[in-house]
Structures are given as structure tokens and as C-alpha cells.
Amino acid sequence: MSGRPSALELPQAPDGFRKVMKALRARPPLRSARLPAEPPWRSRFVAPLADVPRVSLREFGYRGGELLRAEEHVDDTAVAGPWRLLTDEGLERLTAVCEQLEAAAQDAGFTATRRLRAADLLSPFIANMIRDREFLLTCSRLVGIPLIPHPLRLPTAQINYGEGGGRQGGVRWHRDGMDYVFTIQLSGYDDYDGGRFTYFLGRTDEFPGPVPEDSRFREADLGERGATLFLHGSRIFHAVTPVTKGHRVTLVISLFCPYFARQDSNTFWHLAADDGIAATVPCWLRLKWPVRNPAVDFGLRSASPVITWDDLR
């Protein structure tokens, strides 16, 4: 082994009762930081979708009966990418926006990063980007299912800031509460050392913990600024190795399939551990309250354009 910190040395994120204790202490995301002006978002910042490497949930060991289905559609994408979601111009603007937002970032317990939750509540650029029809269609077509911003809203756009020297900037082994997670790299390997995104190529119930013997650990190739990775976050254990030098910035966007709303993987306590109980209750109702037409009703609840199965054709 080299002297470089390995993801296998990272502990696992807290669970169960420790989450409830965290929920009692957690604070809601910031709403009112005064921030400098931003450039406007434009639909042309979405790059055309080309061929993107893809690994299926079956290759991770999930059985056909465990995959979500609607009519002829199957939710089978585990990992897709890396690919470029934004054009150079879009990436440059988004990077500038996220640099500015760092002033509002807060320490995060379970990750070792500083982070900004609900970045779209502070940034019109990010709010418009994640609700742009071109953006959502591109993400939806990549994964093969209709996707809109998550109706829980608070966890839908999060910026992670990792720094070398003192602050570790790594992320412990965890799986996300979210099912459809897109991570955009706003810095690259030229900007920092460490900070390697690592995942376990296997079922979550086979995750062996951070043990060095297992050959199923994989490092994602995210060295290029703008590289974007899709991960079925709730079904894949992943971690980020500590940043030892420089500055690492990622934007993590969590989308939602209105047709699979009843199978959403979030739990109340996972969310409350991040944002506190009071802020989580209205989010939870938006997710769990019954709907008649999933695409239309969740579109309204997420303040999103409506994306249907027909839009994927």
C-alpha cells in the first residue's frame, strides 16, 4: 500500500439510536445568507447526452425481483458515468456560484466536510438548473426513468467542500437516503490530493465494512473538473478518502422518480438527523401525502416541470 489515505481506513456512518440523538440536536438549513449576485442559469448549459458507461444493479448482485418496475420499465441502473452533464460555459458558471456559496457552508458531523444543504434555497442559479426541463430530461434518459427534484426539497442540492490540512474533507462509508444521486465535480485532481470517490461493487447487505481484503472496492475516475457520476445512492455503499492537500468541491443532486414514490428509500430519522425534526415534518408530508397523478402532483410539490415516461422516448 502507498502512504496515501485509503477509503478502507474510514469508519462507517452512525445509525439507529445515534441518528435520533443527532435529530434532536440538528438545525434546519440556512435560508437568509446575503450573497453576491449570480450569473443567470441557461438551458444551453446542459451538454448533449452521448454514450455513458453504465453498470446495472444486477451486476451489483441485486435480483430481478428486487428491482422496481412500472409497465415495461425497470429501474436497473446502479452507476453511470463519469460523463459531462454541463458544457464548459455551464461548468464555469456553476463553479463560480458554488465558490460564492462556501461562505454559507456549515460543518457536517458524519461527513468530515463542510457542506451547504438545500443550496437551491440560497442560489437562483442552482434552483433553476435542477428544475430545468433539459437538465431533468438528460438525467432521466441517462437512468432510464423519469426524474425530478426530490419533493423533500432540503436534501435535493448539497455542496460539499473538502480541504487538506487539519480539516479532513473525507466522507465515511455510508449509503444515501436518496435513490437517484448525481455528483458533479467542481474541482479536479489538479486542485487537491486524496478525495477519491470509492464504492463497493456489491449489495449493501454484503458490505464487509472497511476491510482491505475485498476485491469489490472500486475507485471512480473523477479526476476531471465537471465529471459527473450517477449512483443509485441507497443501494451502494460509498465513501470519499480524506483530502490531504488543496480544495475539493462537489455538488450532489438528489432526484426522485414520481412513479416509484412509495418505494422511496428515505427514512424520517435519516432526514431529521440532518435537518432537525421541525424542518423535516413538512418535507415528509410532501413525500408521503397521497397523490392521484404521480407525475403531475409530485411535479407541483417539487416545484418542477412534469416529466413522464413518454418524455423518455
Does 160 participate in binding ligand AKG (rule CB under 6 A)? yes
Cell numbers for 222: 473523477
Residues 237-276 that bind ligand AKG (CB under 6 A): 238, 240, 250, 252
Does 171 participate in binding ligand AKG (rule CB under 6 A)? yes
240 binds, among ligand AKG, Fe ion, none (CB under 5 to 8 A by kind): ligand AKG
Residues 106-125 that bind ligand AKG (CB under 6 A): 111
Does 179 participate in binding Fe ion (rule CB under 5 A)? no
Strands (E), the chain: 54-56, 69-70, 73-74, 77-84, 106-107, 114-116, 148-149, 157-163, 171-174, 180-185, 192-194, 197-200, 217-219, 227-232, 238-240, 243-256
Residues 158-177 that bind Fe ion (CB under 5 A): 176
238, 242, 262, 270: which is closest to 252 by C-alpha?
238
Does 236 participate in binding ligand AKG (rule CB under 6 A)? no
For 245-258, give the DSSP string.
EEEEEEEEEEEE-G
**Distance separating alpha carbons of residues 39 and 295, to the nearest angstrom:** 30
156 binds, among Fe ion, ligand AKG, none (CB under 5 to 8 A by kind): none
Please state the closest distance from residue 131 (CB atom) to ligand AKG, in A: 21
Does 197 participate in binding ligand AKG (rule CB under 6 A)? yes
Confirm if 92 and 125 have CB atoms less than 8 A apart. Answer: no
**Which of 176, 264, 274, 275 is close enough to bind ligand AKG by CB under 6 A?**
176
Cell numbers for 136: 431533468
* Amino acid present at 265: S
For residues 134 to 153, the per-residue mask of contacts with ligand AKG, x marking binding by CB under 6 A and - elsewhere, is --------------------
Does 156 participate in binding ligand AKG (rule CB under 6 A)? no
Tally of CB atoms within 10 A around 34: 7
What residue number has its CB nearest to Fe ion?
176
Match 418542477 to its residue by C-alpha cell.
Answer: 304
Closer to Fe ion by Cβ: residue 38 or 274: 274
**Distance separating alpha carbons of residues 217 and 148, to the nearest angstrom:** 30
Does 98 participate in binding ligand AKG (rule CB under 6 A)? no
Please state the closest distance from residue 252 (CB atom) to ligand AKG, in A: 5
Which residues contribute to the site for Fe ion (CB under 5 A)? 176
Which residues contribute to the site for ligand AKG (CB under 6 A)? 111, 158, 160, 171, 176, 183, 197, 238, 240, 250, 252
